[in-house]
Structures are given as structure tokens and as C-alpha cells.
Amino acid sequence: MKSKSFLKDLYSIIAFVISGAICAGLIFLLYDKYLNTLGFEENLKKLTSIYIGISGFLSAILMVFLAASAMRQKSYKAKIIHKISKTTQKMHNFRNIAEILFNSNIWLPGLKEYMEKDYADLTYFDVKEFYKGKSKLAIEFLQETHHFGETENLYLELKSLLMTDPKDKHIPETINYPIFYDNDIIEKWVEHKCGSGLWYVFGYKFGNYKESLNLEAVFERHREKILTLANTIDQDKFENSSFNEIFFSKLWEHLTKDVIPKLSQFQSHINRKTPRLIYYLYIVFFLLMVFGVLLPLTYLMLGFSVLAIIVGYSIVISTIFYVAVTFHIFLSKEVNR
């Protein structure tokens, strides 16, 4: 794939060089003919109106296409924003559930104090990226003998869901629920599959964690709120759920498999750059307008040197040649993008 891309780029560069050579050659030949052929300037003047008409017609087609493309881009982004808003609200609800559990009494006595004292500056992302050697604290944490039923990782995982910036080490007292989540935090959630550890524990290993994760310690009003939030996320999936490990297994599975991947997908779409084809066609439009319409008109109206119209002719002809031999390259790149 890389070799094909390189060959296409090389082809475009060669076509550009040839087009430049054609432009320079035409300027030289036309100017030489002007100097050595009597009445050649009059012939150029007669052709100028046809030349302006052709360039103006092509420019008008490109202008309509570019305007239509801009409107399509705007409409597409509006649809994506609508979708990402719904998914973002689901993520808000998941984070609200995570906040309730994080601040609840499900943890073994002393866990919170231990984590916030000895590992206050440690994040779930640091632990997952320990192999990069950027965090000595992460290596120390992994080498430490844990005394809280291996729930320390779950504590950090829940904490990671409450973050809005992967560089933060502490979560604020009031959790932030932004209009849109930053790309950096979404990428970290996706990369480290945040929620999958919780799904695995509640779905497959809860028998080993019953003594260290006390769901009964969650206040009744908080249980009702969690179930209500889950119904808001997906009514079909969570409508008749009970507050137990099966419910939480489904909940974190839904976060891992559906919500975070969609959030990442929609975010990548909304941040998608304007297609290169649009820039390519805009440059062609600009050259046609300036050298195919405006310069010839100025030549006719103000009586500029004949060299101006010769340069205009040469640039437009070489531009049309470049488009003819490279348009399929740009088109194929956009189709495969």
C-alpha cells in the first residue's frame, strides 16, 4: 500500500514538473511568435473572448460544485453532531454511574485512603502503559502486594472514566460533563478498553470478588438512580434489570462494546479534514479565474503588455493538462480514503 501511494505521489510530482515545462515552453514559443510574426497580437485579441468564455464556463461549473460540496459537508457534520450528542449523553450517564460507585461504600475499608495516599498521582493509563517506563509509580504499584482483594485496579479503572483529560492525575470534586469529549481522553478509553476490566469482573469473576465488592453497601436511592440512568442509556437492554452483578456485567459490556467505540467513531468523523480533492479543485478554479478570466479582461480593458495574455494562456493550458493527467489520482485517493 505504501509503495502504491509513493508511486501515485511520484506520478503527481512528475506531472507537475511536465506541466511547468509546458507552461514555460508555451510562454517562450508564443512570445517568440509575437516578436517574429506580424499581426500575431491581433490574432491573440480575437481569441481572447473565446478564451475568457471557456475559462469562465469551466470556473462556473467548478464554483457550483465547490459550493454544493461545502453544503454537503455542512449537512454531514450536522448529522454527525446529532449522533455524537446522543452518544455523548450516554457517556455522561455511564460516568454518572461510575461516579456513584466510585464514591460509594462498595470498597473494602481502607482502600480509598490507601489509594489516595500512596497512589494519588497514579492513573489507570499509567498502569496500562507501565512498559513505556514513564511512570515509576506504576511499576511500584504493579510490584506491590495488594491487600484489598485485587480491587485496586477496578478503583483506578472507575477513576479513569471520571477523567476528561488523560494528563490529569486527580479528579475534581465536581465531575465535569463536557458538551463534547476531547479526542485525547477518548483515544485513551479506546486504547485501554476502559470498562472491560469491570465487565470481566462482574461477568466472569464476581464469585472471587464478593467479599471485596459489596454491592449491598450502595444506598437505595443511589441504586434507583443507577437503574434509571441505565434505562436512559438503553431501555430495551436494561428495562427489567435488578441491581446485581449480572446487571453490571451487561452495563460495562455495553460501555466497552458500543458506547465508547461509537464515541470514537463519530468523533473521528466530525474532526475529518476537508477532502484534498476539494482543495485541488479550488486551486484549479482559482487559476482559471485569475489567468483565464480576470487577466485577459484586464488586458483588453487597460491595454496591458501582450506578455500578460501570453502568460495567462500558458498557465491555463498547462493547468488543464495537469488536471487531465492527475485528476484520476486525486479521485481514487478520495474514494479509498
Nearest-angstrom CA–CA distance, 274 and 16? 22
Question: How much is the pLDDT for 8?
Answer: 67
pTM for the complete prediction? 0.67
Instruction: Return the half-sphere exposure (C-beta side, CA atoms, 13 A cut-off) of residue 218.
Output: 21
158, 175 in Cβ contact below 8 A?
Answer: no
Q: Are residues 190 and 215 in the same domain?
A: yes
Question: How much is the pLDDT for 246?
Answer: 93
Q: Are residues 107 and 236 in the same domain?
A: yes
> In terms of residue numbers, what domain contains 8?
2-38+275-336
Nearest-angstrom CA–CA distance, 248 and 158? 13
Nearest-angstrom CA–CA distance, 191 and 89? 21
Q: What angle do CA 244, 148, 172 make, to 5 degrees?
A: 75
Q: Are residues 31 and 162 in the same domain?
A: no
Q: Is the pLDDT of residue 335 over 70?
A: no
Q: Give the number of domains in the chain.
A: 2
Q: Is residue 86 part of a domain?
A: no
Q: Are residues 135 and 229 in the same domain?
A: yes
pLDDT digit string, tens, across residues 157-194: 999 999 999 888 888 888 889 888 888 999 999 999 99
Q: Is the pLDDT of residue 6 over 80?
A: no
pLDDT digit string, tens, across residues 257-296: 999 999 888 877 766 677 777 888 888 899 989 888 888 8
Q: Is residue 248 part of a domain?
A: yes
Question: How much is the pLDDT for 198?
Answer: 93
Among residues 270, 297, 328, which one ends one of the domains?
Answer: 270
Calculate the dihedral angle through the C-alpha atoms of 97, 102, 108, 111, rounding to the nearest 10 degrees: 160
Question: How much is the pLDDT for 33?
Answer: 87
Cβ burial 132-164 (10 Å sphere, 16+ → b, else e):
eeebebbeebeeeeeebbebbbbbbbbbbbbbb
Q: Are residues 145 and 250 in the same domain?
A: yes
Q: Is the pLDDT of residue 316 over 80?
A: yes
Q: Is 337 exposed, middle or buried (0-12, 13-18, 19+ CB in 10 A)?
A: exposed
Least confident range from 40-44, 68-72, 323-327, 333-337: namely 333-337
Q: Is the pLDDT of residue 1 over 60?
A: no
Q: Are residues 229 and 307 in the same domain?
A: no
Q: C-alpha distances in angstroms, 313 versus 21, 106, 135, 227, 309? A: 14, 79, 63, 72, 6
Q: Are residues 158 and 279 in the same domain?
A: no
Among residues 250, 270, 290, which one ends one of the domains?
Answer: 270
Q: Is residue 186 part of a domain?
A: yes
Q: Is the pLDDT of residue 76 over 80?
A: no
Among residues 254, 270, 286, which one ends one of the domains?
Answer: 270
Q: Is the pLDDT of residue 3 over 90?
A: no
Q: Are residues 16 and 139 in the same domain?
A: no
Nearest-angstrom CA–CA distance, 43 and 36? 14
pLDDT digit string, tens, across residues 114-125: 998 888 889 999
Q: Is residue 140 part of a domain?
A: yes
User: Could you report how far apart the first and last alpha carbons of the chain are, in Å?
Assistant: 13
Q: Are residues 262 and 123 in the same domain?
A: yes
| pLDDT confidence tier of residue 97, bands split at 50, 70 and 90 | very high
Q: Are residues 162 and 297 in the same domain?
A: no
Q: Are residues 138 and 211 in the same domain?
A: yes
Give the distance from CA 136 to its chain's centroid: 32
- Stretch 300-308: mean pLDDT, rounded? 81
Between 316 and 83, the more confident residue is 316
Q: Is residue 66 part of a domain?
A: no
Q: Is residue 259 part of a domain?
A: yes
Helix axes 40-102, 2-36, angle to 10 degrees: 160
Q: Is residue 75 part of a domain?
A: no
Q: C-alpha distances in angstroms, 292 versus 19, 67, 101, 313, 316? A: 16, 20, 68, 7, 6
Question: How much is the pLDDT for 16?
Answer: 85
239, 227 in Cβ contact below 8 A?
Answer: no
Q: Is the pLDDT of residue 7 over 80?
A: no
Residue 22: CB atoms within 10 Å: 18
